[in-house]
Chains A and B, each alone.
Chain A
């Protein structure tokens, strides 16, 4: 028989008291793990939505002249008639440290055309990257190839055009490959053609007005990527488009902080429960401790007995609290989450969180039992035996 066997036997015979200590920490750990899992899952979901949102970084020339709205997003200052970027400069993006987090880079050249007395924005784009940059676009017809144009819903309606017709603007003429379904944004009033076509039409070969970058932000801080791109393109102004989700992310962060505070409070109460219960246990076991001291247990052995018992219980509380917290988070997630249909499956089991919770619970239980253990080891054996 070893010390651990003694502890285990005692726990088996004193299940009620053991359960009380266990519950104290279990509730705390469960609440902590639950809240953390939930906020982590919600953050992941938001980040995933950011990815679905398309481009989340805009690269534009470092000038301020004309503010445009494009794609329902603020592009900041884009001066398409005064200054452009060189398309080849974009190759520098592949050398940034977080290059692997770049899903797509879409160069855009913007220009204006007179269409029946109305100025229309013509955008030259790389349509190969659109699935990543504009995942919400729905097209009647096809994406444009050479000599073709894609019209925004309003542009097509005003010109009375449909796929297959020819869109004539001044001396230029393009076959309409498709019509973009209404997006409710500036895009409805625009026309889109392959980048090289627009560069030729506008006489701006090799130039672009801006570039859209889709960054996979689950594994990278977008601000860091903006800084890296700014460094790689010193003549460009780089902005993160996250206004739409920023508010919600902030709310989740806030919720996470509140949750952490609450969990801390519950854990503190749990630690107090452990302290009080272990102190009561030491008082109850005074005669036992006295006998053990009399038959040759050192003070260290007595402290060890109390601490091993607390450690075993705290570890068990950590494991069960972790499981409980994760189950609770799994059950609660649908009530806090939105638009589950297009969300990626959110992982709720985080091994590092589970390991951290078990370790934290064990350390907390041990710390809370330190005083009772010291008290037990300092008991006078003669007095302790008499207390029976």
Chain B
């Protein structure tokens, strides 16, 4: 079942002759429970695409539907609610709040929800357990390793049990051993039915996804299942 559908997405920054077109008519379909890797060189538009898919960046043109909802037809505040309830974000630099403990960082997406504090706490503990960080609830981000910080960021992204997980170079700041652990975690989440869109520079990590989308100059130049390389796909077509 098609979970994400983007048609002719254009994103232009600025106006007039000095404007920059980051996305130039992206058409995309991602199915429910699918794990997709988005690859491309720096400046190719992959992070912009991720922000558009995450409802953070209104496209200049085109339509975008996620879970049957035309996201940019919603008012900004409703879009924020949609993100809180249906999406999870993992950022390259973790972006944990250094004044909050590990548990409190994980609880962040639930702060504005009306659920009881006890339930928020339970969900946060459950998310921490899923990423293997039980027992570190009271630590501050500065007191744990980079890999653990990334796992806290993942726990924060899944605490609200999202339908869609968006990750922007989740292993970018990690060594390969820690990166592998994080990818295993993503694999686990995928096995549990979560739809994942992950931006990465690494062929190694992209190969763990079901499908890879290659972007260059704001256009999709490749869209192929894992195990089938871009070149071979190009040759086959």
Residues in A neighbouring B109, C-beta threshold 8 A = 295-296
Contact A388 B95 (CB under 8 A): yes
Give Cα A3 to B88, complex, Å: 20
Query: Is B19 positioned at the interface, with any CB of A under 8 Å from its CB?
Result: no
Contact B98 A13 (CB under 8 A): yes
Residues in A neighbouring B98, C-beta threshold 8 A = 13
Residues in A neighbouring B80, C-beta threshold 8 A = 293, 296-299
Interface size on B (CB < 8 Å)?
33
Closest CB-CB distance, B208 to chain A, in whole Å?
A: 24
Give Cα A179 to B87, complex, Å: 99
| Contact (A295, B108) CB under 8 Å given A6-B100, A9-B99, A10-B99 | yes
Closest CB-CB distance, B167 to chain A, in whole Å?
A: 12
Closest CB-CB distance, A21 to chain B, in whole Å?
A: 16
Contact B95 A296 (CB under 8 A): no
Interface residues on A, range: 20 to 34
Query: Is B211 positioned at the interface, with any CB of A under 8 Å from its CB?
Result: no
Query: Is B44 positioned at the interface, with any CB of A under 8 Å from its CB?
Result: no
Residues in B neighbouring A296, C-beta threshold 8 A = 80-81, 83-85, 87, 109, 112, 160
Query: Is A385 positioned at the interface, with any CB of B under 8 Å from its CB?
Result: yes
Q: Which of A291, A296, A300 has the most CB of B within 10 A?
A: A296
Contact B56 A382 (CB under 8 A): yes
Give Cα A10 to B101, complex, Å: 11
Give Cα A1 to B109, complex, Å: 10
Residues in B neighbouring A245, C-beta threshold 8 A = none
Contact A385 B95 (CB under 8 A): yes
Give Cα A5 to B105, complex, Å: 12
Interface residues of B (CB under 8 A from A): 51, 54, 56-57, 76-77, 80-81, 83-85, 87-89, 91, 93, 95, 97-100, 104, 107-112, 117, 120, 156-157, 160
- Give 8 A-B contacts (CB < 8 Å), ordered by A residue: A1-B117, A3-B111, A3-B112, A298-B112, A299-B80, A300-B77, A382-B56, A388-B93
